[in-house]
Amino acid sequence: MTRRIPKPPSWLPLDPYLLALIGTVVLAAILPASGTGARVAGDASTGAVAFLFFLYGARLSTTEAMDGLRHWRLHLTVLVCTFVVFPLLGLAARGLVPYALTPDLHQGLLFLCLVPSTIQSSIAFTSIARGNVPAAICAGSFSSLAGIFLTPLLAAALLGGDGGGFSADALLRIGVQLLLPFAAGQVLRRWIGGFVARHKKVLGYVDRGSILLVVYTAFSEGMVEGIWHRITPARLGVLLVVEALLLAAMLALTWYGAKRLGFGRADRIAIQFAGSKKSLASGLPMASVLFGAQASLAVLPLMLFHQMQLMVCAVIARRRAQDAPEEAEELAQGPAGGAGPRAAAAVG
């Protein structure tokens, strides 16, 4: 009699793409690119990042974003959580250096606090919890758009003194590799927007493959430079504890803070899921441009936080759904309506 392999619990979203990222890291550890291979991988990674941001620009509907401005208080609350409160907590964690965190790990933790919110998973979890899905869509889009400009500027201001290597040349690279492709995508959207929408699934694979290339290049450079010798298992354990506290603080602040600001239940759900989460898809390519050979350490906290937020938010979304009044279902009938925890595990 064949025994069936037990399935993981529904509240534990195992992100297949995160497993692919981990496999890419292992590959870079075993077979890092060096010499000519490293130069080829670096050039390909640069092109992949530019193409990613070109697609971001081509996908973003300016009309939809402007339509969402009527709920400006909610969107402003999410932006403040993402680009003000998170960075302040990241700066406060500087007091843990060198007792709990190394300077490199704190730099990565602070970078995590600077990247924009997610889109896909915020929408999916808001839908599961029967919250305001249209608001979550707009809030995630606004955060991603703002992050293209704010994340590099905040990184230059807050990480410049921590060895991040920021300079006028680095900011020029950011403009060339991130902002110009994004602007080109926005300009060409009226002609290629339909094509991008029709081939969304195929281009999604291109997105993810590009990010895997970025991760392989960054971690290969880290292996060649000997960066990983600076981290011990104990330090990684402490980093996980610090990130768990960070996530708990933001989940509590977004939920109870939104209540104090007078938001209703459906809006509070959208604020909690959009304001407490960070985008792996946006953070990885940005880190490759901002940090170079140091990118592998810079993105490690973000990769860990990404899976942690998926697991915790899946539990919260299910509990919110169980406590939801029936009329809340109407607000949950957005593009992500009916999505489950597995759908929410997509990289955002």
pLDDT at residue 66, rounded to an integer: 61
Question: How many Å is the Cα radius of gyration of the chain?
Answer: 20
Higher pLDDT, 331 or 112: 112
Q: What b/e string do you get for 172-189 counting C-beta neighbours within 10 Å, with b at 16 or more?
A: ebbeebbeebbeebbeeb
Q: Which residue type, as a one-letter code, is found at position 255? A: W
196-212 pLDDT, tens digit per residue, is 888 888 887 887 788 78
297 neighbors 108 (Cβ within 8 angstroms):
yes
Q: Is 331 helix (H, G, I), strand (E, B) or coil?
A: coil
This prediction has a pTM of 0.78
Looking up tokens 């209540």 gives 259
What angle, rounded to 10 degrees, do the helices at 265-275 and 133-159 form?
30
C-alpha distances in Å from residue 184, one per residue of 50, 51, 78, 152: 10, 10, 27, 19
Confidence of residue 334 (pLDDT cuts 50, 70, 90): very low
Query: Span 210-228, mean pLDDT?
Result: 76
Query: Span 223-231, mean pLDDT?
Result: 71
296 neighbors 219 (Cβ within 8 angstroms):
yes
CA dihedral for 41, 42, 47, 52, sign (positive or negative) = positive
Ordered alpha helix ranges (H), 160-279 = 168-174, 180-198, 200-225, 233-260, 265-275
What is the Cα–Cα distance from 3 to 12, expressed in whole angstroms? 22
Most confidently modeled of 154-163, 189-198, 246-255? 246-255
Does residue 150 carry a pLDDT above 80? yes
* 214 half-sphere exposure, CB direction, 13 A CA radius: 29
Higher pLDDT, 14 or 150: 150
pLDDT at residue 167, rounded to an integer: 56
What is the Cα–Cα distance from 198 to 186, expressed in whole angstroms? 17
**Angle ∠(108,110,111) on CA atoms, nearest 5:** 65
Instruction: Name the least confident of 37-51, 52-66, 225-239, 248-262.
Output: 52-66
Confidence of residue 223 (pLDDT cuts 50, 70, 90): confident
Tokens standing for 307?
A: 């899976």
Query: Span 146-154, mean pLDDT?
Result: 87
Does residue 242 carry a pLDDT above 60? yes
Q: What percent of the chain has pLDDT over 90?
A: 23
pLDDT at residue 91, rounded to an integer: 95
* Nearest partner of 218 among 297, 159, 163, judged by Cα: 297
Q: Under CATH, what is the fold of the domain 16-344?
A: Na+/H+ antiporter like fold (1.20.1530)
pLDDT at residue 327, rounded to an integer: 47
